[in-house]
Amino acid sequence: DQQVKQNSPSLSVQEGRISILNCDYTNSMFDYFLWYKKYPAEGPTFLISISSIKDKNEDGRFTVFLNKSAKHLSLHIVPSQPGDSAVYFCAASSGRDDKIIFGKGTRLHILP
């Protein structure tokens, strides 16, 4: 039973437009959420996170929104750039020191 779900295996977005990656979770105990980015033949790298006490966190072109009542979070990338083409993993944790549960990932293609 998947606790973190990324229902879109892939997404294509025109360069310069907004990319929106979605993630749903089922465990109400999760209180910390993260996004990781992964290029081929490399390990995932941390991108941005959000605590459950917030509903938005912004870092440059990247913004994560959290809707606790819907158990849903999204990652917005504005504007999208060619280097953003990668696999994005949504992840969640039920404590700052606990393990992370990852989704299956969404492959983002930025089109020229």
Instruction: Give the residue with the Cβ less far from another protein, 3 or 79.
Output: 3
- Say if CB 36 and CB 45 are below 8 A apart: yes
- Which residues are bridge partners to 105 per DSSP? none
Find the distance separating the first CA and the last CA of the chain, reported in whole Å: 38
Instruction: Give the residue with the Cβ less far from another protein, 25 or 89.
Output: 89
| Least separation in angstroms between CB 31 and another protein | 11
**Among 15-23, 44-52, 64-72, 74-82, which window interacts with another protein (CB under 8 A)?**
44-52
Burial class (CB in 10 A: 0-12, 13-18, 19+), 4: buried
Dihedral over Cα of 92, 76, 69, 72: its sign: negative
17: contact with another protein by CB under 8 A: no
Burial class (CB in 10 A: 0-12, 13-18, 19+), 48: middle
Which one of 19, 21, 44, 84 is in contact with another protein (CB under 8 A)?
44
Kindly identify the residues of this chain, within the stretch 61-100, that bind another protein according to CB under 8 A.
89, 93, 96-100
Which one of 22, 27, 49, 74 is in contact with another protein (CB under 8 A)?
49
Residue ranges binding another protein (CB under 8 A): 32, 34, 41-46, 49, 89, 93, 96-105
